[in-house]
Amino acid sequence: MTRKVLFQIHWLLGITAGLVLAVMGVTGAMMSFQDELMAAFSPEVVGVTPSSSPRMEPSALMAAASAQHQGQPVAALVLDAAADRAAQVEFAPSDPRQHHGDRSYINPYTGQLLGLPHGAAFFLGVRNLHRYLLLPGDAGGIGRPITGISTFALIFFALSGVYLRWPRKPLDWRNWLTLDLRRRGRDLYRQLHAVIGAWLVVLYLLSALTGLWWSFEFYRGGLTRMLSSTPAATMPRRTAEGHGGGRDGHDGFRMDPAILDVSWQQFRRAAGPDIARASVMLPRAAKGQLVIRALDRHARYGRMTDDWSFAADDGHLVGVRRYRALATGDLILGHILPIHDGSFFGLPGRVLLLLSSLSMPLFTVTGLLLYIGRRRQKRRLRTIALPAAAGGATDGPLIIYASQAGHAERLARLTARAFHVQGQMPRLLALNNWQPDQVRDGQLCLFVVSTYGEGEPPDQGRLFAKSQLCSAIPRRLPALEFAVLALGDRLYPDFCAFGRQLDTWLEQSGARRAFPMLALDGDSPAGLQQWQRQLRRWGVAATDHVGWGEVPWQRWRLLERRCLNPGSPEHPAYWLRLAAVDAGLAPWRAGDLVEILPADAPARMQAWLDRLAVIEPRATAADGSHVATTCAGSATATEVAEVAGIPELKPREYSIASIEAQGEIQLLVRQVRHADGSLGVCSGWLTEGLEIGDTIPLRIRCNPGFHPPSESTPLILIGSGTGLAGLLAHLRARVAVGAGDNWLVFGERHAGSDDFFEEELRQAQQDGFLQRLDRVYSRDGQGPRYVQDQLQIAAADLLFWVERGAAIYVCGSLHGMATDVDLCLRGILGSSQLDALSLAGRYRRDVY
Ligand SMILES: Cc1cc2nc3c(=O)[nH]c(=O)nc-3n(C[C@H](O)[C@H](O)[C@H](O)COP(=O)(O)O)c2cc1C
């Protein structure tokens, strides 16, 4: 539970605060070496030609600077010991509400203001972006709390990230730090996210814990109270040193230049020759103090400074605050910025902080990719439609999954669907929800489980592993028959470890193993086929590709399109002929389907969608398509749609009306028109948008549940509307092999206009391939209206055909026809006989 909640918050914050942190990271990295960069680009500003004349005293320099800057008093001066370095001056802010005044470099020999180096304005912008996202109001605006909250989020990311990926052997550093770049896709993103996260977690905590200093007063106060006895407000602030801390408003007090010189001379004498840099900070009030902050030549970084304080009124030395004498707490408090930017730890620290800041977007991007992948996987899972019974109590096998990223769940769903297609009623559930003590006698349980972490169960199996697999009391499950499909990756040392653990536990519990555990390495098609082959022992048809692995899309060209019901008051139904463009096509059998993605010509498709004013596709089956109910690569389909710039465009399924020997795919498509007058996305595209010669992405979907019976089996074909497509394929397949024992019951609305394939059907009758043809029309007002009415009339013949061993195949709309046909058949044959026919594969339906 904790994991789940933490995980949810982790990604929820990731897609919000993560974006802000990415900006803060990049801008922070840009600032890392800003002084050096600016100096490199502006040698004429930061450097001066050494002169034989002595450098000006601070008081004279300040006077010269002030005179060149509209008399604005100077707040601070930074003097460098190097003869070829310019000094820096910071003026008191003209607006007392501001923390900083203008800055400039100044020639220490002549007192001439040199201005700012190139890039100073740019880096000021970068800093404001880093701190306030360039939002109005700077420190007082909304930007500061946003970056502050994001910084708190960074602490949460670091800590929750460690918790979420806590390995079974936490002391083995390899578990934390080894990056395996052989991985691909989501696995690689996860690796980059988690492993590089582990490398940098300490640096991020450091950045965040120091960064909050500038975000929230309460944090600053709390930290100060914790680390020092001095209240925050009285802490000395630092200024005039690069991008140092702020300084409160200046009250206009100007120090007597003579007293300033006295203090300066005292300092020079006492501090000695080893001073590399001195920052002279003028008092803000008459009773204030002059502070000279001195950096020793041997200091490791620019903030190892001693503070010399002098009285503003007479210049006498008040005291010296030595860097070395600082207590740890004060040291930290006085060096928040150098710790934040890494300079506290010298050059290596700066480089490390630069790299960690620069890596920040990596986490946002990989986190987003993982999130998108997860959503896509969930969508794919939703497309593997299962009958309602597959979730409830049934007589079929139990299909139990434990999955982290959805692969195992997907295969479990496909397994369940394969059982269902064969007329069995499987039950699907997550391993955590399985109660072994409620297993009935002879129960078949198929487990599809992945392995996570270092040979650990995925989340959906964790609770079970804890309560059952680790329990000291072994279970007694002799009544259970089981098989395990273990998902894993050979790149991990504990390949399929959880699957093995489960398999062993089941065996030790006395359960009967149906066949040895299958270990699936990644998406290995061979492993999947093995699983599918094993399922045959329970009557589940082996499907070599369909729905399990990804089937590639192929291009098919529209050869011909003809309206089947011109003049009909009903929606037009079209007959489409398509020829393959690509070589190496998948074969198909009568009963199979195609998936079509209406997105081959992106620009034209987009224009078409614009015409329809459609944003979301309408999931409708009224056009004769099965709204994609399989997972057969819908992710790939969606990808194609994404490339085409079409959001959420799902593939549609249509029954194939032709047989392979015809060398082309024929479809029957009903054009859907919605109440608002707009056309259905796919049916509209196929029947109006697409032009003859255009290609469409299509792939064949094997539909074993509707494959033909043996040639010697009499066949009753029942359907209506575009459902004729599936029946036609069967009839054509029977004609091709000379199997003539066929009866077609077909319903439409108007005899005059909706007599689809009249010629071909009459010919089949004449040739002896259609022993009986019953066409019923619901709107003509004479004779039986619906196919079920006709079946009722022909009940005696139906019984006779069934007694002769006939199979009944129904194709078409579920609600408009198949439900009533089912009721009618139950009435004629009896429910138990119809169920028995279904179990024997003699009652099959392809309804949508
Ligand atoms: C963080 C992580 C750890 C993994 N650890 C293992 C492992 O220890 N052993 C293994 O065989 N496979 C391991 N795998 C591979 C997964 O088991 C494999 O990708 C599987 O297909 C995932 O299935 P699922 O999406 O149902 O969770 C790991 C994958 C990830 C992302």
- Assembly ipTM: 0.98
* SS3 letters across 803-834: HCCCEEEEEECHHHHHHHHHHHHHHHHCHHHH
Candidate of 179, 431, 451 to mutate for ligand 1, largest count of ligand atoms within 8 Å of Cβ: 451
Q: From the CA of 452, how far away is ligand 1's center (Å)?
A: 4
**Which residue minimizes the CA distance to atom 18 of ligand 1?**
488
Candidate of 404, 432, 631 to mutate for ligand 1, largest count of ligand atoms within 8 Å of Cβ: 404
No. of H helices and E strands in the chain? 28, 26
Buried b (16+ CB within 10 A) or exposed e, 227-265: bbeeebeeebebbbbbebbebeebeeebbeeebbebbbe
Two tokens, residue 251:
């009250």
DSSP state at residue 706 = G
Q: From the CA of 359, how far away is ligand 1's center (Å)?
A: 25
For residues 697 and 683, what is the distance between their CA atoms, to the nearest angstrom? 14
Which helix or strand (DSSP H or E) is residue 59 part of? helix 58-67
10 Å CB burial of residue 384 (0-12, 13-18, 19+) is buried
Candidate of 193, 487, 503, 520 to mutate for ligand 1, largest count of ligand atoms within 8 Å of Cβ: 487
With beta carbons less than 8 A apart as the criterion, state whether 766 and 737 touch: no
**Which residue minimizes the CA distance to atom 12 of ligand 1?**
488
Q: From the CA of 313, how far away is ligand 1's center (Å)?
A: 74
With beta carbons less than 8 A apart as the criterion, state whether 754 and 572 touch: no
Q: At what angle do helices 17-31 and 120-132 cross, to 10 degrees?
A: 150
- Determine the 3-state secondary structure of 743 from DSSP: strand
Q: From the CA of 495, how far away is ligand 1's center (Å)?
A: 9
DSSP state at residue 673 = B
**Which residue minimizes the CA distance to atom 5 of ligand 1?**
452
Ligand 1 atom nearest to 190, measured from its CA: 31
10 Å CB burial of residue 167 (0-12, 13-18, 19+) is middle
Two tokens, residue 303:
């903030």
**Which residue minimizes the CA distance to atom 31 of ligand 1?**
187
Question: Low-confidence residues of the chain, pLDDT below 50?
Answer: 232-249, 389-393, 544-546, 600-601, 612-622, 626-648
Ligand 1 atom nearest to 401, measured from its CA: 26
Which helix or strand (DSSP H or E) is residue 193 part of? none
10 Å CB burial of residue 716 (0-12, 13-18, 19+) is buried
Q: From the CA of 489, how far away is ligand 1's center (Å)?
A: 6
Ligand 1 atom nearest to 411, measured from its CA: 26
Q: From the CA of 552, how far away is ligand 1's center (Å)?
A: 25
**Which residue minimizes the CA distance to atom 30 of ligand 1?**
452
For residues 135 and 110, what is the distance between their CA atoms, to the nearest angstrom? 40
Q: From the CA of 688, how far away is ligand 1's center (Å)?
A: 46
Ligand 1 atom nearest to 409, measured from its CA: 26
* Residue 10: predicted pLDDT: 94
Ligand 1 atom nearest to 402, measured from its CA: 26
For residues 832 and 428, what is the distance between their CA atoms, to the nearest angstrom? 25
* Residue 640: predicted pLDDT: 41
Ligand 1 atom nearest to 191, measured from its CA: 1
Q: From the CA of 563, how far away is ligand 1's center (Å)?
A: 51
Give residue 417's identity as a one-letter amino acid code: R
With beta carbons less than 8 A apart as the criterion, state whether 365 and 394 touch: no
In degrees, to the nearest 5, what angle opens at C-alpha 564 toward C-alphas 563 and 566? 70
For residues 136 and 146, what is the distance between their CA atoms, to the nearest angstrom? 12
**Which has the closest alpha carbon to 650: 382, 420, 412?**
382
Ligand 1 atom nearest to 449, measured from its CA: 26
* SS3 letters across 108-148: CCCCCEEECCCCHHHHHHHHHHHHHCCCCCHHHCCHHHHHH
**671 φ, ψ to 5°?**
-75, 125
DSSP string, 310-376: EETTT--EEEEE-STT--HHHHHHHTHHHHHHSGGGHHHHHHHHHHHHHHHHHHHHHHHHHHHHHHH
* Residue 351: predicted pLDDT: 96
**Which has the closest alpha carbon to 590: 714, 750, 693, 705?**
705
CA dihedral 284, 288, 290, 291 (to 10 degrees): -90
For residues 737 and 724, what is the distance between their CA atoms, to the nearest angstrom? 20
At 566-593, the pLDDT tens digits run 988 889 999 999 999 876 666 788 998 8
At 786-824, the pLDDT tens digits run 999 999 999 999 999 999 999 999 999 877 798 899 999
**Which residue minimizes the CA distance to atom 29 of ligand 1?**
452
For residues 62 and 258, what is the distance between their CA atoms, to the nearest angstrom? 12
Max Cα distance, the chain (Å): 126
* Residue 114: predicted pLDDT: 96
With beta carbons less than 8 A apart as the criterion, state whether 104 and 114 touch: yes
Two tokens, residue 780:
């003509």
Ligand 1 atom nearest to 458, measured from its CA: 27
Cα–Cα distances (Å) from 59 to 77, 305, 313, 522, in that order, read 10, 22, 15, 75
* Residue 138: predicted pLDDT: 79
For residues 120 and 126, what is the distance between their CA atoms, to the nearest angstrom? 10
Candidate of 166, 492, 520, 631 to mutate for ligand 1, largest count of ligand atoms within 8 Å of Cβ: 492
pTM of this prediction? 0.57
Question: How many residues appear in the chain?
Answer: 848
Ligand 1 atom nearest to 451, measured from its CA: 17
Q: From the CA of 368, how far away is ligand 1's center (Å)?
A: 20
Question: How far does Cα 840 stand from its chain's mean position?
Answer: 44
10 Å CB burial of residue 226 (0-12, 13-18, 19+) is exposed
Q: From the CA of 451, how far away is ligand 1's center (Å)?
A: 5
For ligand 1, which residues put their CB under 6 angstroms from it?
187, 190, 403-408, 450-455, 458, 487-489, 492, 494-497
- Determine the 3-state secondary structure of 273 from DSSP: coil
Ligand 1 atom nearest to 377, measured from its CA: 25
How far apart, in Å, do the first and last CA atoms of the chain sit? 39
For residues 400 and 408, what is the distance between their CA atoms, to the nearest angstrom? 10
Phi-psi region of 453 (alpha: psi -120 to 50; beta: other; left: phi over 0): left
Q: From the CA of 405, how far away is ligand 1's center (Å)?
A: 9
Q: From the CA of 453, how far away is ligand 1's center (Å)?
A: 7
Q: From the CA of 102, how far away is ligand 1's center (Å)?
A: 58
Q: From the CA of 83, how far away is ligand 1's center (Å)?
A: 63
For residues 300 and 308, what is the distance between their CA atoms, to the nearest angstrom? 20
**Which residue minimizes the CA distance to atom 22 of ligand 1?**
450
Q: From the CA of 448, how far away is ligand 1's center (Å)?
A: 13
- Pairing mode, if any, of strands 427-430 and 398-402? parallel
Q: From the CA of 547, how far away is ligand 1's center (Å)?
A: 21
**Which residue minimizes the CA distance to atom 16 of ligand 1?**
488
Q: From the CA of 670, how far away is ligand 1's center (Å)?
A: 44
Ligand 1 atom nearest to 186, measured from its CA: 31
**Which has the closest alpha carbon to 457: 422, 487, 481?**
487
**Which residue minimizes the CA distance to atom 28 of ligand 1?**
452
* Residue 386: predicted pLDDT: 63
Domains (ranges, CATH) in the chain? 1-42+119-212+358-381 (no CATH), 51-110+238-251+258-315 (no CATH), 384-537 (3.40.50.360), 554-705 (2.40.30.10), 709-847 (3.40.50.80)
- Pairing mode, if any, of strands 481-488 and 512-513? parallel
For residues 716 and 741, what is the distance between their CA atoms, to the nearest angstrom? 9
**Which residue minimizes the CA distance to atom 4 of ligand 1?**
452
Question: How far does Cα 768 stand from its chain's mean position?
Answer: 58
Candidate of 179, 450, 521 to mutate for ligand 1, largest count of ligand atoms within 8 Å of Cβ: 450
* Residue 537: predicted pLDDT: 84
